[in-house]
Amino acid sequence: MKKLIGWKKTRSAVFISGAGSNLKNLIKFSHKIKSPISIEIIISNNKKAKGLKYSNQYKIKKQIINFKNHKSAEKKILKILLKKKINFICLAGFMKILSSSFIKNFKGKIINIHPSLLPKYKGLNTHARALQNKEKFSGCTVHFVNSKLDSGQTILQEKVKIAKKDTSFSLRRKILKKEHKLYPAAIKKILS
């Protein structure tokens, strides 16, 4: 165990596009005394993202970035992150693909959570596809981000049994519950 004296949390950013249940969960995790991260900023490409409410609720700065021009959006984000001395990024339901030149600035410091047992079901509609293919299990994966979609090295993965009566909705709920355990565990694994 690391000594708590002189313990410095890694200054982190969370990128979201939607509901932000993982964001909320990561904020709560970051408040724990032994958490390896502090969340200094929330970035969203979507001004209507429901998760943005956690910015006010937990007094964390937010920035909404228009991605009409991807390159300049990333440039703006980079500037903000450098100014805030961010050196760790958690993607949590962020619906934009970061370019390799952006990723290069944070080598091994950007992670993502995906609701499937990667390498299966990269991309969108994972639950519907898993159900359609009559999979017995699905799950979630936390992985390092590289320039290919949902393809970086796995940090942690957790299985969820698919029940006969599961729908995309029920499966999503079951998996989200697991995600909320897995994401903090993955952060601890790589930063503690």
Binding mask 52-91 for ligand GRF (x = CB under 6 A): ----------------------------------------
Residue nearest to ligand GRF (CB): 93
Residue 51 binds ligand GRF, judged by CB under 6 A: yes
Query: Mind spelling out the 3-state secondary structure of 13-28?
Result: EEEECCCCHHHHHHHH
Q: Closest distance between ligand GRF and the C-beta of residue 5, in Å?
A: 34
Residues 123-152 that bind ligand GRF (CB under 6 A): 140
Place of tokens 């006969």: 164
Catalytic residues: 114
- Across 62-74, b (16+ Cβ under 10 Å) vs e yields beebebeeeeebb
Q: Least separation, in Å, of the C-beta of 82 and ligand GRF?
A: 25
Does residue number 115 form part of the binding site for ligand GRF (CB under 6 A)?
A: yes
C-alpha–C-alpha distance, residues 178 and 75, integer Å = 34
Site for ligand GRF in 147-176 (CB under 6 A): 176
Contact flag: residue 184 with ligand GRF (CB under 6 A): no
The answer to whether 138 and 178 are in contact (CB under 8 A) is no
Cα–Cα dist 128/102, whole Å = 31
120, 132 Cβ separation under 8 angstroms? no
Chain residues binding ligand GRF by CB under 6 A are 16, 18-23, 51, 92-93, 113-115, 140, 176, 179
